[in-house]
Chain A
């Protein structure tokens, strides 16, 4: 029968120094592979838009990249926090809400300034039916990588941790997809991109409690 004292002696015996920045290093490795996977998937399935060079001259192209990039940064911050027991989320929810609200505000301005007959096209574009699912599909490698990294750490709020891991992957997927997708209207991005990023986030919230258990 192993007594608690004996267990303690066993755990402490020869315990080596903990690797410094183990948490950050784990995410660098995982997300590096995940981003590679997502980029590869995009290269195989879709490729970049043919007019990419011209598009980079438009401010909206950069806004379209900045939007998922900002969400990616906010979700990464939340994911790092949620991987440590007892760490607070602090400004993470606000950092995630801000770009979404900004995009919605821009969408509202665009819609209000458009003729009534043009509004449908601003919202639906030409790819509304496929956009959210493509983003979700592209997020899969990053999603698996983020869950793997998190599982080896110590999340204690599993549904929330899963949701933010999903959002991180979704934002990464959207960022890569933005290099293919020809849509440039804020109403489109505010609806279909947000929906696409929400799919892995919702899946993460659902599977977090079983997948992330430690």
Chain B
């Protein structure tokens, strides 16, 4: 097991237990690994890399409840990254664009790349298209950093509705990205 795997797994496990700064560190480090991994495998579509990094991060976040701490993190992350990569290539109907093998799980943490290109798709614009009951909770809680109670007071929604709004809004964002 690599040192990256150990450290990332520790951060994620703490994040899943509610430690947001560990979770933030996890996503940040993960994004560099994903970028290097996807750049290597999308060398003919360099403009797509940052969008796919973002899409994969959103997928990791939305599906984080499917991680089992007894499972190697490499296998979990690799399966998600591979799934999103293949999904992108299917969307583009061009599997020939892929020129490197993607089945090696260990490759997913083998390198890292913190030099982000600009994404082409603006997640902030997609956010604006969400209905208020999802958009407002995300803006207040996730962008302005308010608590559930404060966000509920700002929007006049119940606390439960605010939580559901964030959850469903992020899922809806992922659905918009994959073009549904």
Contacts and interface: CB of A to CB of B under 8 A. Distances in A.
Interface of A: 1-5, 7-19, 22-23, 83-87, 153-154, 156, 213-214
A84 B64 CA distance: 10
Interface SS of chain B: helix
A87 B71 contact: yes
A2 B124 contact: yes
A156 B79 contact: yes
Interface of B: 15-18, 20-21, 23-24, 27-28, 31, 50, 53-54, 57-59, 61-68, 71-72, 74-80, 82-83, 87, 105, 116, 118-119, 122-124, 127, 138, 141-143, 145-148, 163, 170, 174, 178
Given A2-B127, A18-B16, 6 more contacts: A2-B124, A8-B28, A11-B27, A15-B15, A86-B71, A86-B74
A13 to B, nearest CB: 5
Contact of A7 (B18, B54, B59, B163): B54
Contact of B66 (A7, A17, A153): A153
Contacts, number: 124
B105 A3 contact: no
A19 B82 contact: no
Contact of A8 (B27, B74, B143): B27
Contacts of A87: 68, 71, 75
B78 A2 contact: no
Nearest 10 pairs between A and B by C-beta? A86-B75, A17-B18, A85-B79, A86-B79, A12-B24, A22-B65, A154-B63, A156-B83, A2-B124, A2-B123
Q: Is the interface of A mostly helix, strand, loop or mixed?
A: loop
Given A4-B54, A156-B79, A15 B20 contact: yes
B143 A10 contact: yes
A1 B122 contact: yes
A1 B124 contact: yes
25 contacts: A3-B119, A4-B53, A4-B54, A5-B116, A8-B28, A10-B138, A10-B143, A11-B142, A12-B20, A13-B141, A13-B143, A14-B145, A15-B20, A16-B18, A19-B65, A22-B65, A83-B66, A85-B75, A86-B105, A153-B65, A153-B66, A154-B59, A156-B83, A213-B87, A214-B62
Contacts of B146: 14
A49 B155 CA distance: 57
Contact of A2 (B21, B76, B122): B122
A97 to B, nearest CB: 25
Contacts of B147: 14
Nearest to B70: A87
A85 B16 contact: no
Contacts of A156: 79-80, 82-83
B20 A13 contact: yes
B78 A86 contact: yes
A11 to B, nearest CB: 4
A1 B119 contact: yes
A154 B142 contact: no
Contacts of A10: 138, 142-143
A2 B122 CA distance: 6
Nearest to B117: A4
B142 A13 contact: yes
B143 A85 contact: no
